[in-house]
């Protein structure tokens, strides 16, 4: 069972993770702001996450952790 989590202290909402997710289950939360004022990424459907870590690989801020 894979799990992707975003550290909202570090996420800058750049959307690079969104663009590479093969399952298209990462979205930008336009309704919330991180402490730095960015809209963070979030996994919308953990059940579908395969733990491929494409999002982790692409993240410029080391804000993503992937467990599986």
Partner 1 sequence: MAIYQKPHALEDVSMHFCPGCTHGIVHRLVCEVIDEMGIEGDTIGICPVGCSVVSYDYFGCDMIEAAHGRAPAVATGVKRSRPDKFVFTYQGDGDLAAIGTCETVHAATRGENITIIFINNTIYGMTGGQMAPTTLPGQVTQTTPFGRDPKVAGYPVRICEMLSTLTGTAYAERVAVDSPAHINAAKKAIRKGFEVQKNEQGFSIIEVLSTCPTNWGMTPLESMERLRTEMIPYYPLGVYKDITAEK
Binding site for partner 1 (CB under 8 A): 9-10, 12-16, 19-20, 36, 38, 51, 53-54, 56-62, 64-68
Q: Quick one: 41 or 48, whose CB is closer to partner 1? A: 41
Residue 31, number of CB atoms within 10 A of its CB: 6
CB of 8 to partner 1, least distance (A): 10
Give the Cα separation of 59 and 42 in Å (integer). Answer: 13
CB of 52 to partner 1, least distance (A): 8
DSSP state of 50: -
């Amino acid at each position: 069972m894979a799990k992707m989590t975003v550290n909202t202290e570090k996420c800058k909402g750049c959307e690079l993770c969104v663009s590479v997710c093969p399952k298209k289950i990462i979205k930008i939360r336009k309704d919330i702001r991180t402490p730095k004022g960015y809209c963070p990424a979030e996994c919308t459907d953990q059940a579908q996450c395969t733990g491929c870590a494409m999002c982790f690989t692409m993240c410029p801020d080391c804000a993503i952790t992937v467990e599986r």
